[in-house]
Amino acid sequence: MTFPELVQKRVSVRDYTSQPIEEQKINQLLDMGRLAPSAVNYQPWRFVVITSDKGRQAVYSCYPREWIKPAPLFILVCGNRDESWKRKTDNKDHLDIDMGIVIEHICLAATELDLGSCIICNFDTEICRASFNLPENIEPVAILSIGYPTNPDIFTTTPKKRKGISEIVLRESF
């Protein structure tokens, strides 16, 4: 699959079968995340892999939406602000940029493996922090739900609702 085909195929999936994901595929997802670029190569991320019923229930406690219940895998993507690069001129912390890159690497890898994924950011961070014993310096950034889509055609039948190039591109100046 070419990169343009992969990007076109990737959609947010919110309807999963309960089929477990093979450990080899989980390891591939994590490795693709590990290989993501980061500011000054600091790699300030940590991944909490959640497959047990107890762990999945803990995810549900901080994001109580019915659609996530069948997902067989969650990856809690965390960032370490103590390890993230800060730009010297204005102290801009690049943690969120690094996390966005690593999250999309994992989601694209899932798509390539015919797994659906969804980036969940609207969760209770305090419940999440307590449920997964996160140290104070570790920030829960996103929860990725991952699984086999109930409808495998979702990758080709979901329309991409995106602004046109002319709406977002400026040349030489704003």
Among residues 99, 107, 106, which one has the least CA distance to residue 39? 99
Query: pLDDT, tens digit, for every residue of 97-154?
Result: 999 999 999 999 999 999 999 999 999 999 999 999 999 999 999 999 999 999 999 9
CA distance 160 to 167: 16
Query: Please, where are the H alpha helices in the chain?
Result: 3-9, 23-34, 53-62, 95-112, 125-131, 154-157, 165-168
Quote the pLDDT of residue 48.
Answer: 98
Tokens found for residue 113: 């493996």
Quote the pLDDT of residue 94.
Answer: 98
Q: Above pLDDT 70, what percent of the chain?
A: 100
Domain segments of the chain: what residues?
Answer: 3-168
CATH of domain 3-168: 3.40.109.10
Quote the pLDDT of residue 36.
Answer: 98
Q: Rounded to 5, what percent of the chain is helix, strand, coil?
A: 40, 20, 40
Is the CB of residue 38 less than 8 Å from the CB of residue 107?
A: no
Among residues 64, 97, 72, 78, which one has the least CA distance to residue 13? 72
Query: pLDDT, tens digit, for every residue of 7-41?
Result: 999 999 999 999 999 999 999 999 999 999 999 99
CA distance 100 to 107: 11
Quote the pLDDT of residue 117.
Answer: 98
Quote the pLDDT of residue 15.
Answer: 97
Quote the pLDDT of residue 27.
Answer: 98
CA distance 174 to 155: 35
Quote the pLDDT of residue 43.
Answer: 98
Confidence band, pLDDT 50/70/90 cuts, at residue 84: very high
Q: What length is written for the chain?
A: 174
Quote the pLDDT of residue 86.
Answer: 98
CA distance 28 to 100: 18
Tokens found for residue 150: 């109930």
